[in-house]
Amino acid sequence: MTDPSLYNVLYIDLTEGRYEVQERKDLFEKYLGGTGVAIKLLEEECPKGVDPLSPENPIIFAVGPLTGLYPLASKTVAMFKSPLTGNLGESHAGGRSAAAIRFAGYGAIVIKGASKTPVYISIYNDQVRIKDATALWGMRSSYAVGRVLREVEPGAGKRTIMRIGIAGENLVRYANVIVESYRHFGRLGLGAVFGSKRLKAVVVAGTRSVKVDDAKAYAKVYEEIYKEVVGTEVMSKYHVLGTAENVLPLNAIGALPTRNLMQTRFELAESISGELLAEKYLVRKIACTHCPIGCIHLASLRIAFAPGHEYETLIVPYDYEPIYALGSMLGIGSADGLLRLIEKVDGLGLDAISTGVAMAWATEAYQRGLITDKETMGLRPNWGEDVDVYIKMAERIARRANEFYSALADGVEVAASKYGGLDFALACGGNEVPGYHTGPAALVGFLTGMRHSHLDSAGYSIDQRALRALMTDEEMVRQLVEEERFRNVLTSLVVCLFARGIYKLERVAKALEPLGTKVSPEELLRLGAEIVRTKAAFKAREGYDPYRLRIAKRFLETPTPLGRLTEERIRNMIKMYVEKAGLSDVYAPSSRG
Ligand code: SF4
């Protein structure tokens, strides 16, 4: 049988200052862990229609049966009601978070209520403490918060420190939670939910081990997986250049959103490419716990202090997404400038994608005269010309410096609804868009995916296959549905999606067997479908309606490598998606016309 510590759910109530552990074998046996268990806990704990920034909105962290046992089972799922979209909030992060939660003896943690004063939660095995964080509240950089907590909390080397920056304190609706300095629960505003609870950080460490049922069989499957990870192209793909290697190929096919998607090719792409960053700035690659790949690329950047004060060296993590959102989207073609901006946005605790997309909209809105120096407080954004303008803009968003920045802090859609320019406000389902203008599958995936993320159903990769061999819209939608179901199995385990080529369903079934869980690939796929359905029901319950989505004109005006898209085609594909995913009853069109 599965090691029973996985069934332990730690419930913490910040209003009451209490905690308890409940055994939830019922949930883990049926839904494995991760996203499957988290959505059921969210259903249980989140009252319908609740304000996402009220104490009633729970924060759920969940790991899975493979955590701590197999390579790349390194991620934690966070679930909550999103303050950005008003429906499902789901975000994944690695670092040490997953192993720390499992070795502390839990499968999931549920945080409810809100504290009156700033606090952080410290979990060390079965010791759970809610501690004063007044001294940490308002600290300028989330990096500094991590440094302080490292000094005072036990468990060095196997401890996770998840914390928010000032953006989370100020309830920026896309504030993130930073994990071990270089990883994030980035999307959909978990940081704001932390902030609303006056929760500055969660620190977890543990010393327990996890038992397996059949050690011999486990070792055999482990070896098989490990060899495949280190011996195949998955290793080189993510280790050598990391996801930053996507910059040039996407630029070459005309799919790299540039200057708020007015263009899809960036003339300075070379100078912010993975290749250039690796050659001139890369100093280290690190990994989440129990991952032999190590895709986390760290750049070193020397910054001059004021005259007479020499230099400081910043260590900046980079990936494709921040390069797109804070680079090409803003017309920033200097690697130095881009890295400085990434470091600032990270330190403030802002999600890089949402921040970049919001600032790109603001730049265009400024140039069109929809906003003026009055709104920007004297800043004059002009496509990459002056990176310091964007650094200051990010600071003002994080501090909600005036009414305009406060609207931007509520998301690009809110800002554009207020100041105009919805046609070029690039959000799908309320979430700022990731960096793939590849074709219809990507756009439909962003609009229908449970997280409105490229990671839901990977439409960008379907589009790229369609570039090589013609594909019907129906086939694209079929692949989106299948991929989303499959990914929900992996995120229930919780396996890093970069290992999706290795953890095929047959392999997953094989990996679970020595741990005491017998399940067939077909059953796993059915489970993936059920989890997607449960999430869809939560989204519908909270007001999400795929038939009424806003589709920004800019997505349709700017050609993709597969040609120009039409609204009719996209809406038709959304309809197909709902039918093929078996969600027609969940998203009933009824009176919508
Ligand atoms: S591939 Fe990267 S993100 Fe995935 S577990 Fe490994 S280091 Fe973490």
Distance, CA 235 to ligand 1 centroid (Å)? 10
% residues pLDDT > 70 (the chain): 99
pLDDT value, residue 590 = 55
Quick: pLDDT tens for 129-176. 999 999 999 998 888 899 999 999 988 889 999 999 999 999 999 999
Q: What number does CATH give the domain 438-592?
A: 1.10.599.10
Residue nearest to atom 8 of ligand 1 (CA): 288
What spacing in Å lies between the alpha carbon of 75 and ligand 1's midpoint?
8
Residues at CB less than 6 angstroms from ligand 1: 72, 74, 94, 238, 287-288, 291, 293-296, 496, 498
pLDDT at 593: 44
- Ligand 1 atom at minimal distance to the Cα of residue 496: 4
248-277: string of b/e by CB count within 10 Å (b at 16+)?
bebbebbbbbbbbbebbebebbebbbbebb
Q: Which is the closest atom of ligand 1 to the Cα of 291?
A: 6
Residue with the smallest CA separation from ligand 1 atom 4 is 496
- Ramachandran region of residue 123, left (φ > 0), alpha (ψ -120 to 50) or beta? beta
Ligand 1 atom closest to 94 (CA): 8
Pocket test for ligand 1, best of 297, 496, 497 (most atoms within 8 A of CB): 496
Burial class (CB in 10 A: 0-12, 13-18, 19+), 368: exposed
Residue 572 is encoded by which pair of tokens?
């038709």
CA of 38 to the centre of ligand 1 (A): 21
591 has a pLDDT exceeding 50 = no
Ligand 1 mutation pick, 74, 97, 494, max ligand atoms within 8 A of CB: 74
CA of 249 to the centre of ligand 1 (A): 22
Q: Best substitution site from 185, 288, 491, 502 to test ligand 1's pocket, by max atoms within 8 Å of Cβ?
A: 288
Q: Is the pTM of this model over 0.95?
A: yes
Residue 588's pLDDT is: 81
pLDDT (tens digit per residue) in 316-341: 999 999 999 999 999 999 999 999 99
SS3 readout for 123-144: EECCEEEEEECCCCCCCCCHHH
User: pLDDT, tens digit, for every residue of 340-355?
Assistant: 999 999 999 999 999 9
User: Which CATH number, 2.40.50.100, 3.30.379.10, 3.60.9.10, 3.40.50.720, labels domain 4-205?
Assistant: 3.60.9.10
Which tokens go with 236?
A: 């080189």
Q: How far, in Å, is the centroid of ligand 1 from the Cα of 418?
A: 39
Taking the C-alpha atoms of residue 14 and residue 278, their distance in angstroms, rounded to an integer, is: 44
CB of 274 within 8 A of CB of 247?
A: yes
Asked if residue 530 has pLDDT above 60, the reply is yes
Ligand 1 centroid distance, CA of 495 (Å): 9
For 99, 137, 287, 309, the CA distances from 142, given in Å and listed in that order, are 22, 10, 20, 23
- Helices and strands (H and E) in the chain: how many: 25, 17
Contact 576, 474 (CB under 8 A): yes
Which of 236, 238, 297 gets mutated to test ligand 1 (max ligand atoms within 8 A of its CB)?
238
Distance 65 CA to ligand 1 centre (A): 18
Nearest-angstrom CA–CA distance, 234 and 221: 18
pLDDT tens track for 246-298? 999 999 999 999 999 999 999 999 999 999 999 999 999 999 999 999 999 99
**Residue 89 Cα to ligand 1 middle (Å):** 22
| Type of residue found at 431 | N
pLDDT for the residue 114? 98
Lowest mean pLDDT among 74-88, 152-166, 185-199, 328-342: 152-166
Q: How many other C-beta atoms can be found within 10 angstroms of the C-beta atom of residue 372?
A: 11
Centroid of ligand 1 to alpha carbon of 72 (angstroms): 7
Tell whether the torsion through CA atoms of 145, 151, 153 and 157 is positive or negative. Answer: positive
| Alpha carbons 586 and 450: distance in angstroms, whole number | 13
Cα gap 263→257, rounded to integer Å: 6
Residue in the block written with tokens 């409810």: 112
CA–centroid distance, residue 210 to ligand 1 (Å): 21
Average pLDDT, the chain: 96
- Read off the pLDDT of each residue in 570-581 and give the average, rounded to a whole number: 98
Q: Are 73 and 92 in contact (CB under 8 A)?
A: no
Looking at CATH, the fold of the domain delimited by 243-410 is given as 1.10.569
Task: Of 76-85, 206-215, 305-314, 509-518, give the lowest mean pLDDT range.
Answer: 305-314
**Rounded mean pLDDT, 68-75:** 97
Whether the predicted pLDDT of 592 surpasses 70: no
Distance 74 CA to ligand 1 centre (A): 7
Q: Is the pLDDT of residue 191 over 70?
A: yes
Distances (CA, A) of 31 to 40, 109, 500: 9, 16, 19
| Closest residue to atom 2 of ligand 1, CA basis | 295
Ligand 1 pocket test, candidate residues 182, 293, 319, most atoms within 8 A of CB: 293
CA distance 234 to 216: 26
Angle at 274 between CA 323 and CA 395, to 5 degrees: 25
In ligand 1, the atom with minimum distance to the C-alpha of 286 is 7
Helix intervals (H) in 327-469: 335-348, 352-367, 373-376, 387-399, 403-409, 412-419, 440-448, 454-457, 459-468
pLDDT reading at 2 higher than 90: no
Ligand 1: atom nearest CA of 292 is: 6
Residue ranges of the domains in the chain? 4-205, 243-410, 438-592
Distance 499 CA to ligand 1 centre (A): 9
* Ligand 1 centre distance from Cα of residue 109 (Å): 22
pLDDT of residue 307: 79
Print burial letters for 96-111: b (CB count within 10 Å at least 16), e (below 16): bbbbbbbbbbbbbbbb
Q: What is the pLDDT of residue 236?
A: 80
Fill in the DSSP letter of residue 588.
Answer: -
Fold match, 4-205 / 438-592: no
Mutate to test the pocket of ligand 1, among 185, 226, 233, 296 (most ligand atoms within 8 A of CB): 296
